[in-house]
């Protein structure tokens, strides 16, 4: 498996045809996933409407592929709608488009001979991460086209105090013990190093929702506001930033309340 399967893989996001919509509808009905079915039918109906009746003006901008769109593609799952989520030209999600600007600010502040670790890397960021004045490493448990394959975030093989900056997006929800994973990320950070972390969730909801199965895209949990206190148990003084304000001059399709967790060692 390669990074081509990751969200933000720099490939066009295909529009669902009628056969695919019917197939997904049948699957969700058969599984009696009524909430997921309701959300899917609503989001996909709007996607089809946007495709069949295009707007006269462009509204959204994607900095990953530097293209404008009349609308981004809506997604949904069992927990939420993700309005205007996916760029149809490069498959970037809202978090990628926000982090594209945020990352560059942190990269400019890196010390001389810095090392950067990107966990479960997204090709959407290669343009700003590869070829920079720093050492850039990628790792993943499943992907083969990374510098360190078969790397378990709960038991990292790296020496302590190796990296100045760690980037980790939508990984912890797939990990059985996310607190162990956070401690490992803290361990391999240099003193003064920074972790930039995103996880899926509803941060207006007080508590994290735990699933008793992995049927929801391999997720163990959907995070709530309580994750910040658990994050601070490992990264004292850890903070959050609302990524919706990453580029106030352009509409890049980032929903308000999508948090970036910032941990410093």
Tell me the average pLDDT across 70-80: 90
Rg of the chain over Cα atoms, rounded to whole angstroms, equals 19
pLDDT above 80: residue 177: yes
Q: Count the helix, strand and coil residues of the chain and give each as a percent rounded to the nearest 5.
A: 30, 25, 45
pLDDT digit string (tens) for 16-51? Answer: 888 999 999 999 999 999 999 999 999 999 999 988
pLDDT digit string (tens) for 99-135? Answer: 999 999 999 999 999 999 999 999 999 999 999 999 9
Give the model's pLDDT for residue 56: 65
Distances (CA, A) of 128 to 53, 102, 106: 35, 11, 11
Q: Which of 127-136, 142-151, 210-219, 227-236 has the least mean pLDDT? A: 210-219
Return the ∠ at Cα 64 (arms to 59 and 67), rounded to 5°. 40
Give the model's pLDDT for residue 4: 80
pLDDT digit string (tens) for 89-100? Answer: 999 999 999 999
Domains identified in the chain and CATH numbers: 3-86 (no CATH), 94-264 (3.40.50.150)
pLDDT digit string (tens) for 145-160? Answer: 999 999 999 999 999 9
The whole-model pTM stands at 0.94
Q: Which of 71-80, 136-145, 198-207 has the least mean pLDDT? A: 71-80
Tell me the average pLDDT across 205-210: 96
Which pair of tokens denotes residue 200?
């899926």
pLDDT above 80: residue 191: yes
Contact 193, 256 (CB under 8 A): no
């Amino acid at each position: 498996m390669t990074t081509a399967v990751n969200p933000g893989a720099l490939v066009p996001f295909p529009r669902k045809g009628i056969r695919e919509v019917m197939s997904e509808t049948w699957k969700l009905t058969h599984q009696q996933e009524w909430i997921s079915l309701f959300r899917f039918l609503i989001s996909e109906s709007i996607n089809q409407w946007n495709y069949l009746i295009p707007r006269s003006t462009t509204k959204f901008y994607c900095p990953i592929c530097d293209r404008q769109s009349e609308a981004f593609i809506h997604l949904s799952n069992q927990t939420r709608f993700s309005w205007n989520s996916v760029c149809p030209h490069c498959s970037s999600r809202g978090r990628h488009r926000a982090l594209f600007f945020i990352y560059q600010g942190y990269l400019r502040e890196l010390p001389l001979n810095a090392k950067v670790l990107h966990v479960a890397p997204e090709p959407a960021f290669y343009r700003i991460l590869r070829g920079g004045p720093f050492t850039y490493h990628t790792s993943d448990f499943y992907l083969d086209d990374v510098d360190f394959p078969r790397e378990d975030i709960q038991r990292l093989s790296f020496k302590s105090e190796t990296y100045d900056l760690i980037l980790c997006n939508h990984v912890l929800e797939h990990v059985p013990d996310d607190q162990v994973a956070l401690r490992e990320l803290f361990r391999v950070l240099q003193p003064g190093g920074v972790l930039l972390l995103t996880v899926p969730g509803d941060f207006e909801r007080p508590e994290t929702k735990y699933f008793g199965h992995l049927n929801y895209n391999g997720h163990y949990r959907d995070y709530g506001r309580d994750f910040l206190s658990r994050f601070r148990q490992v990264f004292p003084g850890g903070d959050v930033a609302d990524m919706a304000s990453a580029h106030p001059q352009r509409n890049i399709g980032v929903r308000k309340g999508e948090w970036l967790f910032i941990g410093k060692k």
